[in-house]
Structure formats: structure tokens, C-alpha cells
Amino acid sequence: EVQLVESGGGLVQPGGSLRLSCAASGFTFSSYWMSWVRQAPGKGLEWVANIKQDGSEKYYVDSVRGRFTISRDNAKNSLYLQMNSLRAEDTAVYYCARPLTRGWVWDAFDIWGQGTMVTVSS
Amino acid sequence: EIVLTQSPGTLSLSPGERATLSCRAGQSVSGSYLAWYRQKPGQAPRLLIYGASSRATGIPDRFSGSGSGTDFTLTISRLEPEDFAVYYCQQYGSPYTFGQGTKLEIK
């Protein structure tokens, strides 16, 4: 079964850091670009970042560039999101997502994890 | 970035009725790289339509997508109870953007 499972969410103070993980299974992880997408409570979806198969290219939404770092470990079939200098507006459910087509940098997401909640509050 | 505006914000219909959801882009979406998702409460989004009109794997044929350029439509021909949810459009150019969502509620 193709599956993505996120972990690492929790409560963190403003200015703090958190590292999210996403474990992939059931497909050739190293063949796909991968993304993080977030959803603030009661709000819509926002793409956060994506990373190329070998980690050599990364793209970020403007609001997190310089604070968040996306990375991956293909040997462990895992995707990560290091979040620093966290703000209240980063509070959201964070999903990892796989694009529909192997090798495409920008594509619809056909596989989503269940999400992990990040709350930034004092 | 391409701004997507969905309408209506909320749509109230009964099971068995036809639903028409709209997604308008602030500039032309290249290659019809437009997708639709359904999100039920407490769940991750599920891909319904990609390439503006292609149904994703396992999606019933009561779901159809159409449009090109800046105007796109998701049509649900006969609403089932599980279709009452929030729907998002997404353009997958560079960078990704999503619409703000349409809530489909039971009348």
C-alpha cells in the first residue's frame, strides 16, 4: 500500500524550532519530487516547499523561505521539514504529499499523509 | 503567482442534485494544469481531477472537470452523502497555489 506518515508535530513557543518527518512506503520514494503542504485551523491549503529526487533543488513559498528547510533521506525513505524561528501564523496541520507523476517537479498531489499538527503559542 | 478564486463560498444542495463549482484564475493556467480535491472533516485532501478534466484513480464518473485558460468547473452530477465536504482547486504551475475552497453542505 502506498503510504505517507508524518510525525514530529507539537506545541512550540514563538521563535522556537521543530523538525517534521514523513515516512514513505509502498513506492519508489527516490523517484519522486516531494512536497509539504499546510492548512491553518479552519483555513485553506497552502503549499510550503518541495524537493527534487536527489535533494539538489528546493523551492519554498515566500513566507517560509529562510526559516524552513526541506530535506530528504532516500536510504530511509523519509522527508523532513526543519522549521526555525516559528511564528503564530505557522500554526497548521502539515501534510507531506507526493505528485502524481514520477519525475515531475510541478504536478497534482495524488498521495497525502494524514498530517501532523504544529501549534506555535506561548 | 497565480491567484485562484473559487465560487460560491458555500453551496447548499440535496442528495441526488447536481453541483457546479467554479474556479477562476487571475492569469491563464498553462497546460490546463488544474486539479480538484475533496476534503472531508479531519481528513487529508483527496485528488479528484487533474489536467482540468482527467479523473484520478478510483474516482466515480459522477465527477467531471472542464475548462481552460482562466475558467474551470467541477461538476458532480448526482450528489451522494459522502460528497458533502470542502472542495479545493489547485494550479500546479510554478509555484503551486490553491483556491480558498467551496463548502458543499446539505440543504
CB B21 within 8 A of CB B102: yes
Residue A52 touches partner B, C-beta closer than 8 Å:
no
Confidence of residue A103 (pLDDT cuts 50, 70, 90): confident
CB B1 within 8 A of CB B95: yes
Q: What is the pLDDT of residues B20-68, one digit of tens each?
A: 999 999 999 988 899 999 999 999 999 999 999 999 999 999 999 999 9
Residue A108 touches partner B, C-beta closer than 8 Å:
yes
A32 phi and psi angles, rounded to 5 deg? -120, 140
Task: Give yes or no for residue A7 having a pLDDT over 80.
Answer: yes
Q: What is the pLDDT of residue B34?
A: 97
Residue A1 touches partner B, C-beta closer than 8 Å:
no
Q: What is the pLDDT of residue B10?
A: 98
Distance CA B105, CA B107 (A): 6
Among candidate residues A113, A104, A110, the one with its CA nearest the CA of residue A31: A104
Q: What is the pLDDT of residue B32?
A: 86
Tell if the CB–CB gap between A45 and B35 is shorter than 8 Å. no
- Using a CB-CB cut-off of 8 Å, the residues of chain B touching A110 are 47, 50, 56-57
In terms of CA atoms, which chain B residue is nearest residue A5?
A: B44
Distance set, CA B76 to CA A85, B68, B105 (Å)? 43, 18, 13
Q: Compute the average pLDDT of residues B85-94.
A: 94
Q: What is the pLDDT of residue A116?
A: 98
Task: Give yes or no for residue A114 having a pLDDT over 80.
Answer: yes
Distance CA B50, CA B56 (A): 7
Distance, in angstroms, between B93 CA and closest chain A CA? 6
The single-letter DSSP state of residue A85 is: S
Among candidate residues A121, A44, A50, the one with its CA nearest the CA of residue A81: A50
Q: What is the pLDDT of residues A8-51, one digit of tens each?
A: 999 999 999 999 999 999 999 999 999 999 999 999 999 999 99
Tell if the CB–CB gap between B101 and A110 is shorter than 8 Å. no
Mean pLDDT of chain A: 97
Distance CA B91, CA A108 (A): 8
- Using a CB-CB cut-off of 8 Å, the residues of chain B touching A112 are 44-46
Task: Give yes or no for residue B94 having a pLDDT over 80.
Answer: no
- Across chain A, the runs of DSSP E, i.e. the strands, are 3-7, 10-12, 18-25, 34-39, 45-51, 58-60, 68-73, 78-83, 92-99, 109-112, 116-120
Distance CA B106, CA B95 (A): 34
Tell if the CB–CB gap between B46 and A112 is shorter than 8 Å. yes
CB A72 within 8 A of CB A55: yes
Q: What is the pLDDT of residues B5-25, one digit of tens each?
A: 999 999 999 999 999 999 999
Distance set, CA A31 to CA A5, A77, A105, B4 (Å)? 18, 11, 11, 30
- Using a CB-CB cut-off of 8 Å, the residues of chain B touching A70 are none
Task: Give yes or no for residue A3 having a pLDDT over 80.
Answer: yes
CB A121 within 8 A of CB A91: yes
Q: What is the pLDDT of residue B93?
A: 83
Confidence of residue A105 (pLDDT cuts 50, 70, 90): confident
Q: Compute the average pLDDT of residues B80-103.
A: 95
Distance, in angstroms, between B70 CA and closest chain A CA? 18
Residue A5 touches partner B, C-beta closer than 8 Å:
no
- Peptide bond between residue B81 and the one before it cis (omega within 30 degrees of 0): no
Q: What is the pLDDT of residues A37-88, one digit of tens each?
A: 999 999 999 999 999 999 999 999 999 999 999 999 999 999 999 999 999 9
Q: What is the pLDDT of residue B30?
A: 86
- Across B2-95, the runs of DSSP E, i.e. the strands, are 4-7, 10-13, 19-25, 34-39, 46-50, 54-55, 63-68, 71-76, 86-91
